[in-house]
Chains A and B, each alone.
Chain A
Amino acid sequence: MRSIHKAILAGVMLSVPLAASVQGAGHGDNPYAGHIAARQGLMQVQSFNIAILGGMARGNVDYDAAAAQTAADNLVAASGIDGRGFWPEGSDNAALGDATRALPAIWENMGGFGEAWMAYGAAVTGVADVAGDGLEALQGAIGPLGGACGSCHRNFRQSSE
């Protein structure tokens, strides 16, 4: 299990500078393209693992305790990444338009943004505590997880349309 953590963490860490350089090369007018690629990549890692858990919770795929635990542990690991450097001042959608959906509210309320991230950490820990304990336990933890994602996105991410 631990080696998987390390692999995932290493993958995420490595992909950050890589993504930064790739994105940075083609977006001369957006100095934060790399930062944005990093945070979006981190979100995608989480979405991918939530999809494994959510697919089971919704009955779209059979429950598998080991796979559920792995996905939940990945979420905990990803939530532990220190991403403070991903959010430089000025990398919001008011400044950069379609390059990001990050609202200026993040920088107007960095304390609240940090609290929301901590609440997300608590929610994924809650999922990891029960993910291997059966389908019902997992289902009970998915709602609070969705709530944690939503309460941060509500305040800090532009709606998609």
Chain B
Amino acid sequence: MRILRFLVLFAILGAAAGWYLTAPQPLAASDIPEREGDAEHGELIFWAAGCASCHAAEDAEGEDRLVLSGGRAFPSDFGTFYAPNISMDAGHGIGDWSEAEFLSAVMRGVSPEGQHYYPAFPYGTYARAGMADLQDLWTFMQTLPANATPSRDHDVGFPFSIRRALGGWKMLFTSDDWVMQGDDLSAEVMRGRYLVESLGHCGECHTPRNVLGGLDYANWLAGAPNPSGEGRIPNITPGALTWSASDIANYLRDGFTPEFDSAGGEMVEVIQNMAHLPDADRAAIAAYLRALPPLE
């Protein structure tokens, strides 16, 4: 029954949005400033954006987290997605991509072949990133090793297998606007907003989704069912997360809760990423989370 509802909605959506409107829109050359990328800064962006959490092999530790051979499975209501190889291998990875192709993939969710990516790849939030930061990221990623593991096809059934319809999904559910609005945000909260809402893509797991997989912004970061089927991803608004800002910042560095239990689940890898950031960035994330409206 639920599937049927999906089908009907999806068909209506596809028809209404139309062929023209669903066309992939890569960045134009004129959108991209010419500049020399900074690999060292790009490494910070790499950790802030959590690239390794999906694209490194399952159970990769230490330096192996820089081998972006892909292969991890991400089950969802729409099928199982497999993270592709984004190592510097020219045949199986993205070693032969241009900077413009990389930026179009990350910010627009469009492949070099001009197809939409599935939003398991969080381009909807990376679209809020600064282009210079992503140019630095690309410069850094080009220093990473090549790996010849072939990417695995996603296991997604009809009608979700029609990638063109994702153009409608993007129109409906992605936005460049910040979720937290306000003219009087402190510089620290704004930095935290950038890290949480854009690079860190925290909302991808901590915010619930509607039947079509679009984020429910009214319940921003208020917790969601775990897409793997087991348990829930916690509410991290002050309505449920009562830790102090310094508790949050410390947790993101050493992985211990204020009671000195340890992180578990997916957060373990998130913390491995966050531990690479400067203290000020973890403090900014904490300040942002404390500034959220408390939701139950």
Contact = CB atoms under 8 A, between A and B. Distances in A.
B201 interface: no
Interface stretch (B68-76, B125-133, B262-270, B282-290): B262-270
A134 interface: no
B223 A50 contact: no
B296 interface: no
Contact of B231 (A142, A150, A151, A161): A161
A114 interface: no
Contact of A54 (B61, B226, B260, B266): B260
B223 A161 contact: yes
B264 A143 contact: no
B261 A47 contact: yes
Contacts of A58: 246, 250
B259 A51 contact: yes
Contact of B260 (A51, A143, A150, A154): A51
Given A51-B259, A51-B260, A146 B254 contact: yes
Interface of B: 59, 61, 223, 226, 230-234, 246, 250, 253-256, 259-269, 271-272, 275
B221 to A, nearest CB: 14
B253 A160 contact: no
Interface residues of A, number: 23
A143 B253 contact: yes
A122 to B, nearest CB: 13
Nearest to A151: B268
Contact of A153 (B246, B253, B268, B272): B268
Interface of A: 47-48, 50-51, 54, 57-58, 142-143, 145-147, 149-151, 153-155, 157-161
A151 B267 CA distance: 10
A149 B262 CA distance: 6
Contacts of B250: 58
A159 B271 contact: no
Given A154-B268, A160-B264, A146 B231 contact: no
Contacts of B260: 47-48, 50-51, 54
Contact of B264 (A50, A57, A145, A154): A154
Contact of A158 (B61, B223, B230, B234): B230
Contacts of A161: 223, 231-234
A158 B231 contact: yes
A146 B275 CA distance: 11
B264 A153 contact: yes
